[in-house]
A = this chain, B = another copy of it.
Amino acid sequence: MEVKARVIKMARDAKDASKILAGLSARLKDEALRHMADSIEKRTEEILKENKKDLMVAEEKNLSRPMLERLTLNIDKVKEMAQGLRKVASIDDPVGEIVAGWKRPNGLQILKIRIPLGLVGIIYESRPDVTADSIGLCVKSGNSVLLRGGSESLNSNIIIAHTLARASEEKGIPKNCIQIVETSDREGVEIMFKLNEYIDVLIPRGGAELINLVKSESEVPVIETGIGNCHLYVDKDADLKMAIEICLNAKVQRPGVCNAIETLLVHKDIANKYLPQVYEKLRGYGVEIRGCIDTRRILKGSARKRIIKKATEEDWYNEFLDLILAVKVVDTLQEAIEHISRYGSKHSEAIITNNYLTAQEFLRQVDAAVVYVNASTRFTDGGEFGMGSEIGISTQKLHARGPMGLRELTTTKYIIFGNGQVRQ
């Protein structure tokens, strides 16, 4: 069968199977998830063998070091995948939740109940653990899943998906609920963009390029995740010690993730005092600064013979995902808010201040999924929010905004109990 026909069949089969999956009890799904966790641990050796195949191709292709790191599995990583599945099994099932309910004067009883979306399509890049993670979240939320991973991790993805699919079937999850596109053909992904009839939502998990491709090409509704050009604004009324700790945490604790900061905005009144101190610390972690004119002037002394690079217009837009920080001195709170509005990606934004009015104004005016006062942006994460698990961070405004847990993989329907009501 050609790729296109095969993907269509997978999607149709998965959608059909989703109708049965939607009605299964949390108990059955949780048992299946635990069995799935056991089964990938049992097959660790085979999984690592397949992963080796991917790594050999990757090395031939001279993939970058971070790419190779994301691609590499080992015993611990397989164990982590299994633990992830067990964790999802331990979270409350959102399906069947009665979101709202009321009785109308005519006696109609209206219930708004949470149900699965149906079939979720996931398009992702090099990390093979996304395979297990996505399958776990979809099974738990009662959705079938159609996976299309990156070509680099094809062998790893296939063995993980097949292992989990088989184990899930052994515990009563319908065959066909878990599907993986087994080629790295571009055709495979392009056909997914057109399958409105079967796929209820497409979620891209990966870098900006992938997300933009899916957003612009897909006719299936998309939930955007993850681009994070986040800012930290240090106000004139900030506790400078706190501002230093939070800046360090938000930049260096894990620079390659979407909730790390890319730009530091500093009020002019405290810039002379704060910037040299924070620079001293950042430099210790090897952070490169790209500054505005004022920043460069202020840091000239501290930098000694090093040169502080000039921040370009592009730098303000950039999600570096690396030990690079753009720094700008601003005259007012309003200038900081406007900078964020212009360059930010509406992900996570933080202010450090002890001024009540300033904090309120920042919270009100900044348009982002998550806005912080006196805390690190690194907390924008399903786990840190207490959701148990997440499928990504939505930076859009419809359906879901911020960390997306199981609940965001569902929709609702109204069910209405009557006893003969007709409309007047």
Contact = CB atoms under 8 A, between A and B. Distances in A.
Nearest to A224: B221
A402 B375 contact: no
Interface in A397-424: 397-399, 401-402, 411-423
A67 B419 CA distance: 36
B415 A371 contact: yes
Contacts of A317: none
Nearest to A246: B422
A424 to B, nearest CB: 9
A411 B384 contact: no
A414 B369 contact: yes
Most buried by B among A19, A370, A422: A422
Interface residues of A, number: 60
A36 interface: no
Contacts of A414: 369-371, 385, 401-402
Nearest to A385: B110
Contacts of A374: 417-421
A253 B422 contact: yes
Contact of A416 (B19, B253, B371, B418): B371
Contacts of A242: 420
A423 B376 contact: yes
B110 A421 contact: no
B413 A117 contact: no
Contacts of A370: 413-416
Given A104-B385, A375-B416, 19 more contacts: A117-B398, A118-B367, A118-B397, A201-B397, A223-B398, A249-B422, A249-B423, A363-B415, A369-B414, A370-B413, A371-B416, A373-B418, A374-B418, A374-B420, A379-B421, A398-B398, A398-B411, A401-B411, A402-B412
6 closest pairs, A vs B, by CB?
A375-B418, A249-B422, A378-B423, A397-B411, A399-B399, A398-B399
